[in-house]
Structure 1
Amino acid sequence: MYADTSLLRNVAIIAHVDHGKTSLVDKLMYQSGLYRSEELDRRAGGQHGLVLDTGDLERERGITILSKNCAVTYEAADGDTYRINLIDTPGHADFGGEVERVLTMADGALLVVDAFEGPMPQTRFVLQKALACGLRPLVVINKVDRPDSRPDEVVTEVFDLLSDLGADDEALDFQTVYASAKEGWAANSLDDERVDMRPLFEAMVEWVPPPRFADPTANTQLLVTSIDYSDYVGRIAIGRIFGGKLEARQRVAVIDRQGNVSNQQILQLLAFEGLERKEVKKVEAGDLCAVVGLDPINIGDTIADAGKPEALPTVTVDEPTLHMTFRVNDGPLSGRDGKYLTSRQIGDRLERELRSNVALRVEPGETMEQYRVSGRGLMHLGILIENMRREGFELCVGKPHVVVREIDGQKQEPIELLVVDVPDEHQSSVMSLLGDRRAELLKMGYKTGNSGFVHMEFSIPARAMIGLRSRLLTATQGNAVIHHTLHGYETLRGAVPHRTAGVLIANEPGPVTAYSLDALYDRGSFFVKPGDEVYEGQVVGENCKSGDLVVNVVRGKKLTNVRAAGKDDNSQVRPVREMSLEACLEYIDDDELVEVTPKTIRLRKIMLKESDRRRASRQAGS
């Protein structure tokens, strides 16, 4: 495949969440002639512009969680046909492990930036990683057809960001392409004719260099950056060939992270063509491919020449910033919904996740039924829990805590860069809320075209971010636009406020009744509705005051032969407070758990019986 590396381009597409990166790739594939629009829609499950978002969670949330590879061809004006390998990377910092490892396959970066929002926190994150890999950015100002777009100012902001990140002169002299992925056109300037994506294809061919470190005469070296799995052929290693070539049925040496060497044989060699993988006989240096038949094989391993094995530098990934406890679901309703309930099954699932999720860490917990799972953020761990739930697992997870490092004898905590855009009238509320949480204001101002909204940037401890989003949205009546990413590590800033309101705890098992909720109407808001099954120790609502309150939500009306003046239909029941998985993880306290099953998400106390909680409280007080 493509022995002439001068006609090969490996391009990573990086962007902040929802800046149009995946939609842009869809248009490039369509206009390359590989697929018709109807075929792309079919592959996207009827959701136009989401063909690369293959998972259910990716389509539901509109974000990229796992990196994807595809390849398109482009015939230039001089008649040469170029093969362009496109690598779609996640835009959220919580999935930074995906970004860090797949950038090693690229020789250039397509930086997609919203024409109104400009560079955002995660733009800084992914761009910093690209520059660290020596990739020169090609800037695409997307969504210039928005009525509030400000492309010229955004180009200046991108330059300032590159300067802040210490980019060299070559990177600062970036090329800019203006585009609308939704409309399917790109242009070299705002005054050019807007027809198709050809200007972007031309820019990639001219601006992105041919594969670096691609010596076809050297010994074979391929760095495994992704692992796929097939029920038919087992593990599939995906990566880039840095030296030599690979052939089907070739004997190779697999070198793992510890330097151990095992001799194996390739069964199949697959090259990327559009969204498909096509079986080929040979792949040359500089190209990307998938290798079938090697086991054991893991991310970071090197596939090398069997006669002279030499390892490539392994993939380095930033350490986790958040950890929580995964444990067996020991609640009274366990086993009703799920298929996988035991600690062994949970441990095996986490072990499988470690093979492909390089940013995850799993350690034994305090007991045999617990695991300490560490990740890059609440969304990173939340996606793992949601996937396990959909696969049929039942488990309980504890309150998330930040990972505190000891650096030069000092305890240091992760600090987030928080960006908030709010209407003028809510500015003081946001400042007050963040001031209580040890946040420091870095920048404040207005963006042109967004009159009435103030733009603020803060540095804030990562532990203060837990539960902050819901409070910010409440304080701003849902008008706040919030983004954050890891900024660095600093000395501990001191205590931050915890949840002030107590919770309502069920004292009896059974179905919830409207009669009981009516009697508790003024006690607070509820997480359950009439007919829901509850058990003793389950958190059924939030108390309107501080301190926990044990309540009876299953009490029924006494049946007598005396006609009542009113009817049960007049019972007042507050609308149920819907809580997503991430909202539950942010909400719980140290003595609470989130119970996750395929059909239900519940909140509960670790100690279900009130007598046990009181005894533990007395012992803690003494």
Structure 2
Amino acid sequence: MTYQIERIRNFAIIAHIDHGKSTLADRMLQLTDLVESRQFRDQYLDRMELERERGITIKAQAVRMPYTASDGQEYLLNLIDTPGHVDFSYEVSRALNGCEGAILLVDAAQGMQAQTIANLYLAIEAGLEVIPVLNKIDLPAARPEQIAVELGSLIGEDPDDVLAISAKTGDGVQEVLERIVERVDPPRTDPDEATRALIFDSHYDAYRGVLTYVRVVDGELRPRQEIRLMATGFHNEIDQLQVVSPEPTSIDRLGPGEVGLLTAAIKEVDQARVGDTVTDHKNPAEKPLPGYREPTPMVFSGLYPVDSEDFPDLRDALDRLRLNDASFTYEPETSAALGFGFRCGFLGLLHMEIISERLDREYDIPLVTTAPNVRYEVALEQQPKGGADRAHDLAADGVIEVSNPAEMPPPHQITEIREPVVDAMVLTPSDFVGAVMQLCEHRRGEMLKMDYLSEERVELRYRLPLAEIVFDFFDRLKSQTRGYASLDYEPAGRQVADLVRVDVLLNGESVDAFSSIVHRDKAYDYGKAMVEKLKELIPRQMFDVPVQAAIGSKIIARETIKARRKDVLAKCYGGDVTRKRKLLERQKEGKKKMKAVGAVDIPQEAFVAALSVDRD
């Protein structure tokens, strides 16, 4: 069925994690009769097995819903269900650029959280009509009147206009659909403009090539039409046009304001980039649509295949994941201890965990993941000459960027190190303000301000080093506030810090995979924890193995893995003591020679366990 542009509404659901976005989307699918009851399952739009297991949304999902409003008119609602975790805020910003309205969903028991406010600001920046909705009013702990007042004051709405629903039971969801039809504007289009459609997502299919999700802005798309991608120059005929309603369904036209997916025999993953503009090849548009800002990786980690023969497969798998996830970056690197792998950039620790697990599940590639690091700026006294490594070649002005601790120059070449910092917002009940302040100060935080949103809720703003929060800050925040606090953060530039590289030496040889950049005040604790952990994990050799932590040439911690010992005196029954001494001396000489030429065998499990050592 073809819809006039005045009858189309594009909207997204935004909220803090676990406030009921996917459940509300489920009820909307049922209310619009898109899914029969016998086919229905919870989290219907979460297609990934990983999403269903964890109960979270990782990828934004678009679905097309025909809806008959109370005025008897037929409308087309294009819904985008977005993730709630701070690591996937880039997915949310992309989704909002394809909409004219947003449902701001708030848990009536928990109230506003950090991501609620962050997502609201994203929607306001995108110029969307925001519809406030309270969810979970059926819970015994729900406080709908109180939360409605807080929410209304935040966005300038009358508390009586805030909708109260239960997505679980379906109570009030019909009113939400009516409010969307009333308040969200139809898409804007220029009838004189040539065909233009924005690519907002894509993924790879082994049989059909690249599947490209588009939002048509001007003109229309039809099967057999020859299209061109303006950024890459790729052109070909459209094989198939589909809409997700809620399963992919073929159609013969996509008009202005509509959302769908197309296939055009795009074989290379780099040819269909998120943010590119699709136009007609014979009558192309003069200028492309404004795309998306490039996401900036915040956390870097090395991914190495357990079996070195899997390296080409890992490269192919990363290529395909990169197509589906534009915020993920990677480049090849080598490690003396782990072999060939990739230095990958992620938006956060959960993002890193999801990528690693997807590689293991979807592509069957078991991995070793090195400890996460952030990207530092290092000012050098003088630019290294000659055989400088890859990172040092960037030092045209005496400043290099380092995301791998193994690339950090020697201490005597460094004048200063600048680390990335973030402005963090923590929302917490007033009872836990002391615990949160203590945690932030322990992580080298600087308080910016503290506001009481109400008698019970406090907003704390801190400037924190990114390296201190990506590792386990969120877990500790939750444990110290009994799960009630929430966190959001955004980049805030760089600052000078007293940082050092701690190396781990096995038998006098540095193992690059265990190197880490830490603050000088915490270097001893980190080094001591690392050598103690490795002493437990590395099996005994035929000779004593010293395990040392060092800053430059200074050893700060040491443990010794004692050698296996054969009882060479077992067959000596009595006799002269010189005979026993001669056997022991021979054994000692043998161990000394073995230590000089021997290599320490580090099992793969030791890498996995040691690289998860707790920094506290």
TM-score (norm 1): 0.70
Change in CA separation of 1:119 and 1:494 when aligned onto 2, cut-off 3 Å: farther
Give the equivalent residue in structure 1 for 2:80: 87
Deviations 1:396-441 (A, max 9, x none): 222212234799x9956231424264794x6544433321212244
Aligned to 2:4: 4
Matched to 1:465, the amino acid is: I
**SS of 2:139 mapped into structure 1:** coil
Aligned to 1:413: 420
Q: Which amino acid aligns with 2:421?
A: P
Report if aligned partners of 2:478, 2:484 keep a CA contact under 8 Å in 1: no
> Structure 2 CA distance, aligned partners of 1:118 and 1:247?
46
Cα distance in 1 for partners of 2:241, 2:420 equals 45
From 286, 296, 313, the counterpart of 2:257? 286
Residues 11-410 of structure 1 mapped to structure 2, 5 A cutoff? 11-41=11-41, 49-159=42-152, 161-162=154-155, 176-186=162-172, 197-213=173-189, 215-216=190-191, 218-256=193-231, 260-273=232-245, 275-295=246-266, 296-310=271-285, 311-326=288-303, 328-329=304-305, 334-335=306-307, 341-365=309-333, 369-390=340-361, 391-404=363-376
Residue 599 of structure 2 is matched in structure 1 by none
Change in Cα spacing, 1:93 to 1:405, as seen in structure 2 (3 Å) is farther
Deviations 1:47-102 (A, max 9, x none): xx321222122122211100111122221222111111110111112112222222
Structure 1 position 506, deviation (Å): 4.8
Q: Residue by residue, what CA displacement relative to the aligned partner does 1:493-519 show, whole Å, maximum 9, x if unpaired?
A: 7455645561332578779xxxxxxxx
- Matched residue type, 1:38: R
Cα distance in 1, alignment partners of residues 221 and 229 from structure 2: 13
In 2, Cα distance between equivalents of 1:198 and 1:455 = 34
Q: Please give the residue correspondences for 1:482-497 in structure 2 after superposition, counting only pairs within 5 Å.
A: 482-492=485-495, 494=497
Deviation at 1:601, TM superposition (A): 8.8
Change (3 A) 1:32 1:278: same
Amino acid at match of 2:215: R
Contact 1:254/1:263, CA 8 A, preserved across alignment: yes
Deviation sequence 1:301-331 (CA, Å, 0-9, x none): 21102223222222223312221222x35xx
The 2-side partners of 1:411 and 1:385 are apart by: 29
Does the CA contact (< 8 Å) of 1:418 and 1:460 recur in 2?
no
Aligned length: 494
Give the superposition deviation at 1:547.
Answer: 5.0
Decide whether aligned partners of structure 1 residues 432 and 174 sit closer, same or farther in structure 2, where only a CA change above 3 A counts: same
Q: 1:553 to 1:98 in 2, by over 3 A?
A: farther
State whether residues 423 and 479 of structure 1, in contact with CA within 8 Å, keep that contact through their aligned partners in structure 2.
no
Structure 2 partner of 1:505: 534
- Structure 2: tracts of 5 or more residues without a match: 380-398, 400-416, 499-518, 549-555, 566-601
Deviation at 1:358, TM superposition (A): 1.2
Higher RCO by CA contacts (8 Å cutoff, separation 6 or greater): 1
In the TM superposition, what whole-angstrom CA distance separates every residue of 1:193-217 from its partner, at most 9, and x where no partner exists?
xxxx22111101001111123x455
- Structure 1 or 2, whichever has the larger Rg, is 2
1:104–1:423 distance in 2 versus 1, CA, 3 Å: closer
Distance of 1:173 and 1:422 partners within structure 2: 22
Distance 2:204 2:281 in 1: 24
Q: Contact 1:422 / 1:454 at 8 angstroms: preserved in 2?
A: yes
1:523 corresponds to: none
Relative to its length, the structure with more helix (as a share) is 2
Taking the aligned partners of 2:140 and 2:9, their CA distance within structure 1 comes to 34
Could you tell me how far apart the structure 1 residues matched to 2:282 and 2:158 are?
Answer: 43
Deviations 1:586-605 (A, max 9, x none): xxxxxxxx9989xx993247
Output aligned runs, 1:450-599, within 5 Å: 458-469=462-473, 472=476, 476=480, 479-492=482-495, 494=497, 498=522, 500=526, 502=529, 503-506=532-535, 549=559
SS at match of 2:221: strand
Asked if 2 retains the 8 angstrom alpha-carbon contact of 1:40 and 1:51, the reply is yes
Q: Secondary structure at the match of 2:421?
A: strand
Contact 1:108 1:136 in 2 (8 A): yes
Deviations 1:351-386 (A, max 9, x none): 222212111222343668242211211111111011
Deviations 1:543-570 (A, max 9, x none): xxx9564568999xxxxxxxxxxxxxxx
In structure 2, give the amino acid aligned to 1:240.
R
Q: Distance in 1 between matches of 2:204 and 2:170?
A: 34
Kindly provide the amino acid, as one letter, of the partner of residue 602 in structure 1.
V
Q: Contact (CA 8 Å) 1:324, 1:373: kept in 2 or not?
A: yes
Query: By how many angstroms is 1:270 displaced?
Result: 0.8
**Partners in 1 of 2:469 and 2:263 — Cα distance?**
43
> Could you tell me how far apart the structure 1 residues matched to 2:239 and 2:72 are?
36
- Cα separation, 1, equivalents of 2:547 and 2:45: 40
Moved more, 19-28 or 357-366: 357-366
CA displacement at 1:157 relative to structure 2: 3.3
The letter for the 2-side match of 1:221 is R
Unpaired runs of at least 5, structure 1: 42-48, 164-170, 187-196, 512-535, 540-545, 556-593, 607-622
Q: Deviation per CA, 1:272-314: give whole Å up to 9, x if none.
A: 32x1121111111110111112413232221102223222222
Deviation at 1:152, TM superposition (A): 3.5
Q: Distance in 2 between matches of 1:106 and 1:537?
A: 61
- CA-atom RMSD in angstroms: 3.8
Q: Secondary structure at the match of 2:119?
A: helix
**Secondary structure in structure 2 of the residue aligned to 1:38:** coil
CA distance in 2, matches of 1:221, 1:109: 23
Q: Do the aligned partners of 2:348 and 2:470 also contact (CA within 8 Å) in 1?
A: no
Tell me if 1:433 matches 2:439: yes
